[in-house]
Amino acid sequence: MKKKIDHQLLRFLAGGAVFLLALAFLTPAPAIAHPPQKLLLAYDAGNQTLTVTVTHNRFSAGHYIDKIEISKNGAVIAGQDYKSQPAETFTYTYKVNASQGDTLAVKASCNKFGSVTEKFTVGKGK
């Protein structure tokens, strides 16, 4: 009887392994897509411009940064949609009216998976 139990257990484990393998191959893998790796912000108060530098490695025609969203003091003030990205690291400049003490936040989103957000307070450096 012990051999019969071992054989049933072996079939159960083999069936479970096949199920897990099938699940792994059929589930979309975030490893193929990834969020931006880095987001650097700089604000020029004299020109009222916000410079946003994004690093998003291993992008392709179907995998890119598709949206940049800018918030000031918690309220979204601007957003820009994109259909591609020009390089692994790229810079965009936006006109943003901000005063010392305002908190600016920028969110860069990947069209496949994830996003990154950075923020800073105008006049406090970063």
pLDDT of the residue at 36:
84
35, β-bridge pairs: none
| Architecture of the 38-121 domain | Sandwich (2.60)
Reported residue count of the chain is: 126
Rounded CA gap, 42 and 50, in Å? Answer: 6
Classify residue 109 as exposed, middle or buried by CB count within 10 Å of its CB (0-12, 13-18, 19+).
buried
The domain limits of the chain are 1-30, 38-121
pLDDT of the residue at 109:
94
Query: Is pLDDT larger for residue 6 or for residue 41?
Result: 41
**For residue 81, what are the CA distances in angstroms to 39, 109, 110?**
17, 10, 11
End-to-end CA distance of the chain: 71
Residue 95 has pLDDT above 90, yes or no: yes
Q: Which helix (H) or strand (E) holds 18?
A: helix 2-26
Question: What's the whole-model pTM score?
Answer: 0.71
Q: Which of 117, 108, 104, 120 is nearest to 72 (CA)?
A: 104
Query: Is pLDDT larger for residue 32 or for residue 113?
Result: 113
For residues 67-71, give the mean pLDDT: 96
Percent of the chain, pLDDT > 90?
A: 56
pLDDT of the residue at 19:
65
For residues 37-43, give the mean pLDDT: 93
